[in-house]
Structures are given as C-alpha cells and as structure tokens.
C-alpha cells in the first residue's frame, strides 16, 4: 500500500489545496514555534516557515500509522531484507551501533565484523598519520588520494571538507572522474613517493575507479617496480578476491558489506579518508552523532520526529502542491559539497517509478534537488527564487559559531544573510511598482548547527538518510537499489568499443551515428 491508497489521502489532498491558497505567515500562532521547531544534538530545526500546520501534520501521522511506518523503521534497523529487489538488508545504522548490540544478517551477528574492521582502520590510520607508514623509498606519507566515485566519494569528500578545523597534516585528494583532466591535474599536485592511494569501490567493477587505479598503478610499476604497490595502495571493497587480483596486499584490504548501500557508506570502511583526515577519535564522534539521530528516529513520536517532519514537508510540495524541485543552500563554505552528497542520497534512492510490487506508480516520487552555498547563490539564482514563476522550497543550513575564523564579523554577516533570506522569502514586500514587488509566501526550512563538529555533522547526515527512507517508504518504492544507472554504463561500453575499433557495428539512431562518425574522424 502507498500513501495515496490510505484512508487519509483524500482529506490530505483537499486540505493541502486549501493550504496552497493561504499565506504561511498567517499560519503563525502562539503554538507554531513549539510545534514546528525542535532540537537534536545542538542542531536547531525550524519547519515553521513551511506550508504545513497542525491539522495537516495530524493527518500525515494517521497516514503513517495506517502504513505501519514504525514497523518499517524497526524492519530496517533489525536487518530485515528491505532492499527487496536485491534481497539485501539495509544496515548503515549498524555501522554506528554500540559494540554490545546484536544485529543479525542471515543468522550472523554483524556487530563484531564492524568493530574488527574499525580496529584495523584505526591501526592503519594511526600508522599513516604518525609517519610510521613508509612509502617505497622510505619516506612518510604526505598525501592521500581516494579513488572512488558516487557513494565512494561524495560522502567522505563532503565530511572531510566540512571538518577542516579537525584536520591533521595529511592532504586529501579525491580522484573520481574518468576525465583524464582530473588525473593529469592531480599528478601535478602530488609526489608519488609520498602518496597513498585508497581505491574505494564496493563492487570493485566501476569503470572510472578501476581505470584511474590502473593508470596510477602503471605509473608506480614503471617508476619503482611492482613491490611499490603494497606500500602505496590500499582498498575498501566487498570483492576481496577482485582486490587481491588487482595486486593489493592482503593487509591493505578493508571490508565492505552488501548490507551497506554506497550512498549510505561514509560510516563504513568506505569512509576511510575521514579517519585519515581527522583521526579515528573524531571519526568515532561522527558515528556517535549519527547514532543519536538513529535513536531519535526510532524512539520519537512522529509529531516531533525530525526525519519524519522533513520527509512530509517535501512530500507536501512534491505530491500535493506540485513544486518539482527543492534547493539546499548551505550558508557555510564548509558544507559546500553537501548539495552534491544529498543529490545522490535522495535522487539515486528515490528516483524510481516502479513500486515494491513491480507496478508503475501513479504519483510523483523523488524530487529534484539542487543548490550551492550562500551568499554566492544570492548573486546567481536567488532572483528566480524571489520573483520567478516557479516555487522552490528552500533548505538553509548554517553554523551559529565559527570558532576557527579570524573574521567573526564576517561570520555574523553570513548568518544575517541567511536569516534575512528566509524572512524575505516568507513575507515578501509590497510595492506598487510591479517589478519591485515581492509576493513572498515562499517556504523554507532552517537547520542551524551550534557548530559544525564531527558529532553534530554525524547527526545531521543521519537525519537526511532517515528522511530519504521515510519518503521512499511512503511512496512504496525501494530506496536502496539503483538499476537506473546501468543502461548508461552498458551503452557506454558499446560506444567505447566502436570508438576503439573505429567501426560502428550496431544499429544506432541517426543522431548517435552522426556523432560517432564525428568523434571517430581524425
Ligand atoms: O553507478 C552508481 C553507483 O553504483 C553508486 O550507487 C555507487 O555509489 C557508485 O556507483 C560507486 O560504486 P562502487 O563503490 O561499487 O565503485
């Protein structure tokens, strides 16, 4: 059953229609801030500037109960194989569970696996950070290159950038694109002698990752011989044999598990660049922060359950009011990669049109998500957000205190801009000159962290993960597979074959044929 089949749905739709014509500002009464603002691990969430009110929330809560959402949450946490198309459990939450918990997959408690892997990672990162780990010429490591793409890059890269204040001396780079421009450029920035490459690939079969890794491996073999590989390469994968065949020393192979999806994997060994950058103790705090959100999500009633509230505000816009996109605007350069991470998390998870029973859905699913940091965004696309014909709900994210800056006044200016934008979007400003008139009534959610610490960041990211789950659950889709990326990969392999052999041996459309001929011409 999906949300449109519940007994509440009709009422929800007609109520939302009424709400569409109301002004958000008129929804404010003496209870609104209590009902629609909450705190979790020093993060303040404010949903009050959204097109939601208590009666609509109550209807959604009834709907969630009818759909047994609480049981769905239990099922995920306890390791039920809710990724039905791939027959897998979905247990990124186990990665941050305390050591004394028991969570079983196919009868085996996975908690010891996680903690053993973490011990191995702790040991490895300590050696690299302390300089004990030596490269092939006896020098300590100065640079780390994470070779990985999608979930094997976006989460760790975003976290490592956000936690710059916690970083050690190691320089961390991310090599992801098949575009050799990235590799060429990287090679101008690093010295192979003092660089450690970590190949992160759950499947160990991703074209971009393997090709980049092979290119770098060849450089080492040519320059230093085969033995250098054991000193300069480590890997994280579920495919231990494939990694060994690639030539990675067994000691340098860290596990991944099929019950962790790539886009949910920053907490696993796939996030190895995080403890390398900020030390294992800080990585543990990130996990602890995520665990606080896990408990919140499992235990709090829906009326104050943050991932639930976040998910239903999106659903109101997506399914009831017809707003097709949502913007995430971090007012923090530290969080500049957050929109990229969220795009994969939400759009790869919920960009589906077939429900859990294999039938085409008759309603909207995954919303389009985009964004860039403020204040820069104000000077590019905010014109459209204030006066355009499209309605784009916003999500503002910022930190209250930036302890590390030498320019605290600038930080206050940054925050004042964010607060001002959310108020201006809400209220607008009447002007008799139509060009200068601001209608307002444009929704936004605010997430204000006291500070971007490992713990608070962990809590925030787990919030987005659970929000993704709730949306997928209510839409009755499997948020945990990604078959939609396969056709492009397969087609690219055929096209490459044509390009390499300068021969078109398949039937293409005219446009593709002409393009191929153009690319093949000397
Ligand atoms: O192509 C999509 C995808 O499978 C993502 O889901 C994943 O995060 C990424 O590719 C990388 O996959 P892997 O870690 O297996 O190399």
Residue 522 above 90 pLDDT?
no
Cα atoms in the Cβ-side hemisphere of radius 13 Å centred on 301: 6
Banded model confidence at residue 506, pLDDT cuts 50, 70, 90: confident
For residues 9-30, average pLDDT: 96
According to CATH, the topology of domain 3-66+300-481 is Rossmann fold (3.40.50)
Q: Let me know: does 120 contact 112? Beta carbons within 8 Å.
A: no
Report the pLDDT value the prediction gives residue 210, as an integer from 0 to 100. 97
Report the pLDDT value the prediction gives residue 422, as an integer from 0 to 100. 98
Tokens of 390: 């499209």
Say how many Å lie between the CA of residue 94 and the centre of ligand 1: 20
Residue 39 above 90 pLDDT?
yes
The strand order across the sheet containing 143-147 reads 171-175, 143-147, 195-200, 233-237, 253-255
Which ligand 1 atom is the nearest neighbour of the CA of 489? Answer: 1
What residue spans define the domains of the chain?
Answer: 3-66+300-481, 93-281, 486-520
Which phi and psi angles does 432 have, rounded to 5°?
-70, -25
Contact 50 CB / ligand 1 (< 6 Å): no
Protein residue whose Cα sits closest to atom 9 of ligand 1: 150
Superfamily of domain 93-281 in CATH is Glucose-6-phosphate isomerase like protein; domain 1 (3.40.50.10490)
Banded model confidence at residue 208, pLDDT cuts 50, 70, 90: very high
DSSP state of 389: S
For residues 223-238, average pLDDT: 96
Q: Is 120 a catalytic residue?
A: no
Contact 482 CB / ligand 1 (< 6 Å): yes
Residue 264 above 90 pLDDT?
yes
Say how many Å lie between the CA of residue 239 and the centre of ligand 1: 13
Note if the bond before 375 is cis, omega within 30 degrees. Answer: yes
Give per-residue pLDDT as tens, 294-336.
Answer: 999 999 999 999 999 999 999 999 999 999 999 999 999 999 9
Q: What is the DSSP string of 148-216?
A: --GGGTHHHHHHHHHTGGG--S-EEEEE--S-HHHHHHHHHH--GGGEEEEEE-SSS--HHHHHHHHHH
Q: Examine domains 3-66+300-481 and 93-281 and report if their fold is the same.
A: yes
Coil vs helix vs strand at 503: coil
Report the pLDDT value the prediction gives residue 505, as an integer from 0 to 100. 79
Contact 212 CB / ligand 1 (< 6 Å): no
For residues 382-402, average pLDDT: 98
Which ligand 1 atom is the nearest neighbour of the CA of 482? Answer: 6
Scanning the structure block, which residue is given the tokens 């995920």? 76
Report the pLDDT value the prediction gives residue 159, as an integer from 0 to 100. 99
Report d(CA 378, CA 358) in Å as an integer: 43
Strands 37-40 and 43-46: antiparallel
Q: Please identify which of the residues 193, 348, 465, 471 carries the catalytic annotation.
A: 348
Instruction: Compute how many other C-beta atoms are within 10 angstroms of the C-beta atom of residue 420.
Output: 11
Q: Is 379 a catalytic residue?
A: yes
Pocket test for ligand 1, best of 148, 151, 236, 345 (most atoms within 8 A of CB): 151
Protein residue whose Cα sits closest to atom 16 of ligand 1: 201
Banded model confidence at residue 452, pLDDT cuts 50, 70, 90: very high
Averaged pLDDT score across all residues of the chain: 97
Q: Let me know: does 3 contact 474? Beta carbons within 8 Å.
A: yes
Say how many Å lie between the CA of residue 485 and the centre of ligand 1: 9
Report the pLDDT value the prediction gives residue 504, as an integer from 0 to 100. 86
Please provide the size of the chain in residues.
522
Q: Is 348 a catalytic residue?
A: yes
Banded model confidence at residue 108, pLDDT cuts 50, 70, 90: very high
The dihedral sign for the CA sequence 232, 237, 240, 242: negative
Report the pLDDT value the prediction gives residue 507, as an integer from 0 to 100. 86
Give per-residue pLDDT as tens, 124-173.
Answer: 999 999 999 999 999 999 999 999 999 999 999 999 999 999 999 999 99
Say how many Å lie between the CA of residue 93 and the centre of ligand 1: 19
């Amino acid at each position: 059953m999906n949300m449109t089949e519940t007994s509440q749905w009709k009422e929800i739709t007609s109520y939302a229609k009424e709400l569409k014509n109301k002004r958000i500002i008129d929804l404010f009464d003496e209870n609104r801030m209590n009902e629609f603002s909450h705190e979790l691990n020093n993060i303040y969430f404010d949903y009050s500037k959204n097109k939601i009110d208590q009666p609509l929330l109550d209807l959604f809560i009834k709907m969630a109960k009818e759909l047994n959402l609480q049981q769905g949450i239990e099922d995920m946490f306890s390791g039920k194989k809710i990724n039905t198309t791939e027959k897998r459990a979905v247990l990124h939450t186990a990665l941050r569970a305390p050591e004394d918990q028991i969570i079983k997959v196919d009868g085996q408690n996975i908690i010891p696996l996680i903690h053993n892997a973490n011990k191995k990672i702790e040991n490895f990162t300590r050696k690299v950070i302390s300089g004990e780990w030596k490269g092939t010429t006896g020098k300590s490591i100065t640079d780390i290159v994470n070779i990985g793409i999608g979930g094997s890059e976006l989460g760790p890269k975003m976290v490592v950038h956000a936690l710059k204040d916690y970083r050690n001396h190691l320089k961390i780079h991310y090599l992801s694109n098949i575009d050799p421009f990235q590799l060429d450029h990287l090679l101008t920035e690093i010295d192979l002698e003092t660089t450690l490459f970590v190949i992160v690939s759950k499947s160990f079969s991703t074209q971009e990752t393997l090709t980049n890794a092979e290119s770098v491996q060849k450089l080492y073999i040519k320059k230093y011989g085969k033995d250098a590989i054991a000193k300069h390469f480590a890997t994280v994968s579920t495919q231990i044999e494939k990694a060994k065949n690639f030539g990675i020393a067994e000691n340098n192979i860290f596990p991944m598990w099929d019950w962790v999806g790539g886009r949910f994997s920053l907490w696993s060994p796939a996030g190895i660049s995080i403890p390398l950058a900020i030390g294992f103790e800080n990585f543990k705090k990130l996990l602890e922060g995520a665990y606080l959100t896990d408990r919140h999500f499992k235990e709090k009633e829906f009326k104050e359950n943050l991932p639930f509230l976040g998910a239903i505000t999106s659903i109101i816009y997506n399914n009831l009011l017809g707003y097709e996109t949502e913007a995430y605007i971090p007012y923090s350069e530290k969080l500049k990669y957050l929109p990229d991470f969220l795009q994969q998390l939400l759009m790869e998870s919920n960009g589906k049109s077939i429900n859990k029973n294999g039938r085409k859905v008759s309603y909207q699913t995954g919303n389009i998500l985009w964004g860039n940091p403020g204040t820069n965004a104000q000077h590019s696309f905010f014109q459209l957000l204030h006066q355009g014909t499209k309605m784009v709900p916003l999500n503002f994210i910022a930190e209250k205190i930036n302890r590390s800056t030498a320019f605290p006044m600038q930080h206050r200016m940054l925050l004042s801009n964010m607060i001002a934008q959310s108020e201006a979007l809400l209220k607008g400003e009447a002007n008799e000159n139509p060009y200068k008139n601001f209608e307002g009534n444009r929704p936004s959610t605010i997430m204000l962290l006291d500070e971007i610490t490992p713990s608070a960041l962990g809590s925030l990211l787990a919030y987005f993960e659970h929000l993704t789950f709730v949306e997928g659950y209510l839409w009755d889709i499997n948020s945990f597979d990604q078959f939609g990326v396969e056709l492009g990969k397969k087609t690219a392999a055929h096209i490459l074959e044509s390009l390499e052999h300068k021969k078109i041996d398949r039937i293409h459309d005219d446009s593709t044929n002409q393009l191929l001929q153009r690319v093949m011409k000397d």
